[in-house]
């Protein structure tokens, strides 16, 4: 029924149906499973054109919605693509992280999919560096991938040094995945990301007992 109503040619009816969906999410229906909520949010993203009002209503759900992670996952498609609305999302996410660090990974992943300008990227990278210790080991690859996608030339040295510190505490399996994901962003970040990759290779060498050569050590000193 919901899908049929959202696929109508009437924009007014789509908006009214979207409001009913939001009301249902807000009421936290006891019969709604996470799969149900995921399906509802996917329908909104696929059939409803985002507006400022829709963006604001969805952000208000972050305060008490039981399915926050799903909401965060779908938010990039539900956000009206204006600078003002993107700023609202960034601010809401940072406030959310100040009270619940466990949401670091989904929030970073969501922000990485949004059209942030350089200033917003710098704000996110700066604000989240102090929260990285909240990430468990299996989350480190995703954190590295998201942050590297948002790092700018001005924020790269400090951010990558912080990521380097976090990577010192992960095992070889996680390290291998981290290197693979970091490589995808290396060309865009030029020397800073390549130095970060050198460091990961250095950790891997130590882990396998092969050591790190002198050239790698000299390069890593640039990040200290």
**DSSP string computed for 12-44:** HHHHHHHHHHHHHHHHT-TT--HHHHHHHHHHH
Distance of alpha carbon 218 from the chain centroid: 32
Q: What pLDDT does residue 2 have?
A: 67
Q: What pLDDT does residue 189 have?
A: 54
130 and 97 in a common domain: no
3-state SS assignment for residue 184: helix
Distance between CA atoms of 222 and 110, rounded to whole angstroms?
A: 31
Distance between CA atoms of 39 and 188, rounded to whole angstroms?
A: 35
Q: Identify the weakest region by mean pLDDT among 54-58, 103-107, 192-196.
A: 192-196
Whether 214 maps to a domain, the answer reads no
pLDDT of 18 strictly over 70: yes
Whether 215 maps to a domain, the answer reads no
Closest to 71 in 3D by CA, of 97, 47, 102, 106: 106
Tell me, what DSSP letter sits at residue 79?
S
pLDDT in tens, 34-93: 898 898 899 888 888 888 998 999 999 988 888 899 999 999 999 998 999 999 999 999
Whether 38 maps to a domain, the answer reads yes
197 and 144 in a common domain: yes
Whether 133 maps to a domain, the answer reads yes
85 and 51 in a common domain: yes
127 and 79 in a common domain: no
Q: Determine contact, residues 124/111, Cβ cutoff 8 Å.
A: yes
* pLDDT grade for 119, boundaries at 50, 70 and 90: very high
* Matching residue, tokens 């995945």: 177
Q: Determine contact, residues 154/121, Cβ cutoff 8 Å.
A: no
* pLDDT grade for 201, boundaries at 50, 70 and 90: low
Whether 141 maps to a domain, the answer reads yes
Whether 111 maps to a domain, the answer reads no
Whether 55 maps to a domain, the answer reads yes
126 and 78 in a common domain: no
Closest to 148 in 3D by CA, of 115, 90, 109, 106: 109
* Matching residue, tokens 């969906």: 21
187 and 150 in a common domain: yes
Share of the chain above pLDDT 90, in %: 30
Distance between CA atoms of 141 and 149, rounded to whole angstroms?
A: 12
Q: What pLDDT does residue 212 have?
A: 38
pTM of the model: 0.78
Domain range holding 120? 116-206
Whether 187 maps to a domain, the answer reads yes
Distance between CA atoms of 137 and 75, rounded to whole angstroms?
A: 26
Q: What pLDDT does residue 175 have?
A: 78
166 and 95 in a common domain: no
**Total of domains in the chain:** 2
Distance of alpha carbon 74 from the chain centroid: 11
Q: What pLDDT does residue 224 have?
A: 38
* pLDDT grade for 110, boundaries at 50, 70 and 90: very high
More confident residue, 34 or 214: 34
Looking at residues 175-195, what average pLDDT do you find? 64
Q: What is the mean pLDDT of the chain?
A: 80
126 and 98 in a common domain: no
């Amino acid at each position: 029924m919901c899908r049929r109503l959202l696929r109508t040619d009437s924009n007014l009816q789509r908006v009214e149906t979207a409001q009913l969906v939001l009301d249902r999410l807000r009421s936290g229906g006891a019969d709604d499973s996470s799969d149900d909520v995921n399906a509802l949010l996917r329908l909104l993203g696929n059939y409803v054109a985002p507006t400022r009002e829709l963006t604001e209503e969805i952000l208000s759900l972050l305060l008490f919605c039981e399915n926050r992670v799903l909401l965060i996952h779908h938010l990039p498609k539900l956000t009206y693509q204006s600078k003002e609305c993107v700023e609202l999302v960034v601010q809401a996410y940072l406030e959310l992280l100040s009270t619940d660090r466990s949401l670091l990974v989904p929030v970073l992943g969501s922000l990485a999919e949004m059209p942030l300008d350089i200033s917003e990227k710098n704000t996110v990278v700066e604000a989240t560096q102090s929260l990285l210790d909240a990430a468990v080991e299996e989350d480190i690859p995703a954190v590295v991938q998201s942050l590297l996608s948002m790092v700018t030339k001005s924020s790269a040295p400090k951010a990558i040094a912080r990521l380097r510190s976090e990577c010192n505490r992960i095992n070889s399996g996680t390290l291998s995945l981290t290197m693979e994901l970091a490589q995808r962003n290396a060309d865009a970040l030029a020397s800073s990301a390549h130095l970060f990759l050198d460091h990961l290779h250095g950790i891997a060498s130590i882990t396998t007992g092969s050591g790190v050569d002198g050239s790698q050590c000299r390069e890593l000193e640039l990040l200290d």
